[in-house]
Amino acid sequence: MQASEIAAIVEQAGAPGVGAEEQQTAARLMALLGHLFRYDRGNLLRVMEESGLSMTQCKALLELGGLGRETEPRQVSDLAETFGVSVPSMSRAVDALVKAGLATRVEDPDDRRARRVEITAKGKQLVETMVVVRQAGMEAFAASLTGAQRRKLDAAVDSLMERPDIAEAYEHLKDGGPA
């Protein structure tokens, strides 16, 4: 992400059209997510750090691994667009993943001149480890809640399951977790 893009995001924060209610919801979500991020005592960050991968490489690997779901090989340009980075930057990240044996470049079946990036078994194993470590942190947090707190959280989250993107991720995790 370029400095100008970051500046634009910062400038938009609290922009007109975002009311006080939305700002309060956002603040509560930030507090919760911040707590959840630290709740596992940094285990997920430790796994990422010990992998030796940069943040861009981790994001690309998690995307290629579908956060534990099966996915199709992706073009470098698609990965770059997904994360808002330049194609050369993503290409360097993918090169490092290939060198580490976590991904491979494969021929595009629709265009033999193009190459796609596919996660390897070793890459899938690392993604699975990240997902399992994150899930364990969430389970520990859920276990720390009272029954009433858990029921209220479940009710709030259940209403979000109407969103297909959230429902799909939940169904995958519920039906067996990481692939």
Q: In this predicted model, what pLDDT tens digit does every residue of 133-152 receive, in sequence order?
A: 988 998 999 999 999 999 99
User: What's the number of CA atoms in the CB half-sphere (13 Å) around residue 139?
Assistant: 9
Rounded to two decimals, the pTM is 0.77
Examine residue 32 and state whether it is found in any structural domain, yes or no: no
Q: Report the SS3 class of residue 104.
A: strand
At residue 96, the pLDDT reads 97
The residue segments making up the domain with residue 155 are 40-174
Residue 4 predicted with pLDDT over 90: no
What average pLDDT score do residues 91-112 get?
91
Question: Would you say residue 22 lies in a domain?
Answer: no
Rounded Cα distance, 44 and 67, in Å: 13
- With cut-offs at 50, 70 and 90, classify the pLDDT of residue 17: confident
Any domain includes 47? yes
Question: Which pLDDT belongs to residue 60?
Answer: 94
Residue 69 lies in a domain: yes
Give the CATH number, domain containing residue 146. Answer: 1.10.10.10
- Whether 3 maps to a domain, the answer reads no
> In percent, how much of the chain has pLDDT > 70?
84
CB 42 within 8 A of CB 50: no
Confidence grade of residue 175 (pLDDT, cut at 50, 70, 90)? low
For residue 176, what pLDDT is reported? 55
Q: Does residue 62 have a pLDDT over 80?
A: yes
Does 90 or 24 have the greater pLDDT score?
90
Q: Is 94 helix (H, G, I), strand (E, B) or coil?
A: helix
Residue 179 lies in a domain: no
CB 73 within 8 A of CB 116: yes
Q: Tell me the C-alpha distance between 96 and 166, whole Å.
A: 30
Q: Is residue 80 part of a domain?
A: yes
Domain count of the fold of the chain: 1
